[in-house]
Structure 1
Amino acid sequence: MLVRDRHGSVTHIDAQALVDVAARLDAVITVDVQAGQFATSGQHVARVWGRTQVEEADPKRIRRLIWLGGERQLHQYVGFGLRQLVDIAERALSPGISDPTTAVQVIDEIHRILRELVVRKTPSPYVADPDGRVRVVHQPQAIDGLIDLGVREIAHYGSDSPRVLARLTEMLTDLSGCALNRYGSTLDGLSGERARVDLIAGRLPRPRARES
């Protein structure tokens, strides 16, 4: 096990350089942290699997390939940028502010980001050497989770705003039409959220009360 000797946010994981290290050791390196995650001093960040002893694995070099910074970087962790946008929308929709215009503008940005993501494949967690042997197992950002992040909370906090609900419905409809098939289950899972949005916005008939 390899631990950090300081704390900070993981800003970059050099998977290819880790592959080179693992191939030289004839081992497999598993990375226990994800880009954007906060790592504390003493926390496990990677493990070396094989006959190699930890000392032989050059733990300092491996730790240097998992970069830490004082702040999360948007270009390395899309989820952090989405989280910030969602937080802005939620603050705009809070009772004390009630600014649906800002929330709709935030959804515009989220729509732009998600539209680029849903036509891409989530990177494989397995990285192989030139001979095809898996050398590194890491935790890439899952696009399914990013889709959910960009939709669900705003739908909840914006349930009283027809403008916000209409914009969310528009975004979800567009994403469903252009996304790769692999994201179908995620978007289908949000269909219940979209139906609720449509219901509140008056686009679907309300279910009749059951007769006693």
Structure 2
Amino acid sequence: MTLIHSERGGVVQAFDTAGLIAAAARNDCVLVLAHQIGDFVPPGATLVEAHGSAPPPDPRRVTGLVALGTERTIEQDPAFALRILVDIAIRALSPAVNDPTTAVQVLNHIDTFLHTVGRARLRGRYVLADDQGRPRLVVPGRSWEDYLQVGVTEIREYGATSLQVCRRLRALLEDLLESQPTERLPAVRAELVLLDEAVRRAFTDPARRASAQTADRQGIGGGRRPRSEPSG
């Protein structure tokens, strides 16, 4: 194995899939990206691993096929788009702004995002082949749990005292329970448990707690649904 190092620091913004596969095929090796899209790579850190018995490709050519920049972009990084939505929501929930309705509107978009991602074939890593079917490029990926945690964790933490945020967030999670494949459900149930715990801490009055534990797609004023008890 040969380690190809980054000459400079930066955030992995994108990579040239076709170019990396072609470089690996020319040198009869497998290239493994050491970092996923969105990671910050310090100067001199390993950027790519080259596995094979033949001489490795030119390091400068390989590093030139991986775009590093000063900040994340959404070009090949959908998790960053989700991150931006979450930041808008938690900014709205700050004491200085106190705008939970905006947070609820953002949760509508996060709901759509998570439903779309949940239908994708997510993997911890992706192995891409050349025209002959030989593995040439290994790319780290994100799991369903990764996307779900980004989408709901901080909104739950910052919005735990907001009645409408708790109700809208429960509706989002219960919608996912009804729509996602079986293997996705344990992570959703775990988030419902965390939401229940946050509501219990924030709402000591039984009537207000029961209201906060009611799913409502509008936050307050939509069609109410009875509380779903998380299981397993």
Scaled by the length of structure 1, the TM-score of the pair is: 0.84
Residue 79 of structure 2 corresponds to residue 101 of structure 1: no
Q: In structure 1, what is the equivalent of residue 10 of structure 2?
A: 8
1:31 maps to amino acid = L
Q: Determine if contact 1:3/1:44 at 8 Å carries over to the other structure.
A: yes
Q: List gaps (5 residues or longer) in structure 1.
A: 206-212
Q: By how many angstroms is 1:197 displaced?
A: 5.9
Q: Which has the higher mean CA deviation after the structures are superposed, 96-105 or 146-155?
A: 96-105
Equivalenced residues, count = 203
2:140 aligned counterpart, secondary structure: coil
Q: Determine if contact 2:161/2:199 at 8 Å carries over to the other structure.
A: no
1:81-137: CA deviation from partner (whole Å, max 9, x where unpaired): 222222222222223332211211221221121121111111552222334332222
| Aligned-CA RMSD value | 2.3
Q: In structure 2, what is the equivalent of residue 53 of structure 1?
A: 55
2:131 aligned counterpart, secondary structure: coil
1:138 aligned counterpart, secondary structure: strand
1:20 maps to amino acid = A
1:21 to 23, 26, 44: 23
1:7-66: CA deviation from partner (whole Å, max 9, x where unpaired): 322111223332222222221111111111222321210011112334xx1111211211
Q: By how many angstroms is 1:167 displaced?
A: 0.5
Q: In structure 1, what is the equivalent of residue 159 of structure 2?
A: 158
1:191 maps to amino acid = L
Mapped to 2, the partners of 1:19 and 1:189 lie a distance apart of: 39
Q: List gaps (5 residues or longer) in structure 2.
A: 204-208, 215-226, 228-232
Q: In structure 2, what is the equivalent of residue 42 of structure 1?
A: 44
1:39 maps to amino acid = V
Structure number with greater CO (CA < 8 Å, separation at least 6) is 1
Q: Structure 1 residues 20, 180: CA separation in 2 closer, same or farther (over 3 Å shift)?
A: farther
Q: In structure 1, what is the equivalent of residue 83 of structure 2?
A: 83
Q: By how many angstroms is 1:150 displaced?
A: 0.5
Q: By how many angstroms is 1:143 displaced?
A: 3.2
